[in-house]
Amino acid sequence: MSNTIKLIKVLYKKWAKEEPLEIKAIAESGSYRKYFRIRGKEKTAIGVYNKDKKENEAFISFTKHFIEKGLNVPELYVQDLEKNIYLLQDLGDETLFSFALKNKRPEVKKLYKAALEHLIRFQIDGGKELDYSRCYPRNKFDRQSILWDLFYFKYYFIKLAKITFDEAKLEGDFNSLAHLLLKAGSNYFLYRDFQARNIVLHSNELYFVDYQGGRKGALQYDVASLLFQAQINFSPVDREELLTYYIKMLTKKINVKKKDYLKHYYNYVLIRLLQTFGAYGFRGFFENKTYFLKSIPFALKNLEWLINEELLPFNLKELHKVLIDITQNEVLKKFNVAEEKKMKVTVNSFSYKNGVPVDYSGNGGGFVFDCRVLNNPGRYSEYSNLTGKDTGVAQFLELKSNVNEFLDSIYILVDNAVKNYNERNFKNLMVNFGCTGGQHRSVYCAEKLASHLNEKFEVKVELNHTQLKKKD
């Protein structure tokens, strides 16, 4: 990071003819690009570092083209693609997304209608004379692009969420869905990530960023991206109003019939939703970025609506089954954006055969205690069908192992952590107890710690026994 800042500093001095007084990193979102706000005495800019050279070339080529077309994109100040850096106009921090979360629906819809008018200009005017050879990684939202999105959904969402499916049947449905999507006209500029976080409010105008993944494609995709963005949570009535407005404005630009547009629209809503789930899974489950997991319940709500309104394509039986299983998955429903006022301590028992439970809170873990140092009641037939919740197992551990000494040491460690976290306003702590089968020693210890914390602290304790059946 320090070397990147040095490069950004040099480029700023070259452009601004002044020393930067402050270079501040901007929080990452869904990409690996690094953004910095640079302030000097007279000027300000956004510095970007991205080691993907082809993506940089696509962004810069598109930016120059869109500016020539009079589209609202940030001004490109200076670039050094050999070092993977460039400077852009600083448009500020308020996005359409942040505006939508804090303002009333009539005001929000007014701006969304304006965004849709701008989108039409990108799709039609922006697509004219565009050098599509600069697109990366594909110059068209073709069959390969569609299948990449569908496999992204399969490997990073449904597999990581442990949804069961028939591999061959699902792949067949993927191919059928791709065939349906490609029936729509696709000779337009497809922005690819046209959503409220990529629309910035600056000087009472809307500006647009993050279009480097653009390519040739169908009109329906970007509208679906905007209107079905998870956390904005538009009502079906609001979405219908905005969709109708978009089609009305589109017909002023090109000859298109509403019924022809709608014939393909909800198929594109589906592919965008599946791509979004894939992104949530990759960033959330795989990279452990909890923010993305908290968007899942909103996306589930959109998916449930599609299913209930019978807007999914017919004859995709395996995909339909998978989507229903997703909406009924209790683990996925647990992720939510509600901020807990109390600190939450998650206490888990688990089996080492299946691995340590993953912390999705964003804190990155907590404590893991190995209960295999204790005498194992599971080796004895009279306890084999019991669990750590049963009196017989508790008596065995208390009389024939040093479990009390073991737990006393743990109480000291965890108590200190809870006090420290509370003082620092941390919201989550995880404590895991593991043993061979996840039935006896770990369950007993998890129960005892949960009881201890409930008695001693004003915290929310969530107790999970990952190997026990729900009735236990």
Mean pLDDT within 98-114: 94
What's residue 294's pLDDT? 83
Residue 337 has pLDDT above 60, yes or no: no
How far CA 12 is from CA of 26, 74, 92, in Å, comes to 16, 16, 18
Rounded to whole angstroms, the Cα distance separating 212 from 136 reads 8
Mean pLDDT within 347-364: 86
Burial 376-411 (b: 16+ CB within 10 A, else e): bbbeeeebeebbbbbeebbebbeeebebeebbeebe
Residue 245 has pLDDT above 60, yes or no: yes
Question: What is the average pLDDT value for the chain, to the nearest integer?
Answer: 93
Residue 362 has pLDDT above 80, yes or no: no
What's residue 328's pLDDT? 93
Window from 68-72, 154-158, 259-263, 425-429 with minimum mean pLDDT: 425-429
Mean pLDDT within 222-227: 98
* Of the candidates 77, 74, 69, 76, the residue with the CA atom closest to the CA atom of residue 13: 77
Domains and CATH numbers, the chain: 2-88 (3.30.200.20), 96-333 (3.90.1200.10), 344-465 (no CATH)
What's residue 1's pLDDT? 54
Neighbours of 129 (CB within 10 A): 9
Residue 183 has pLDDT above 80, yes or no: yes
Mean pLDDT within 265-274: 98
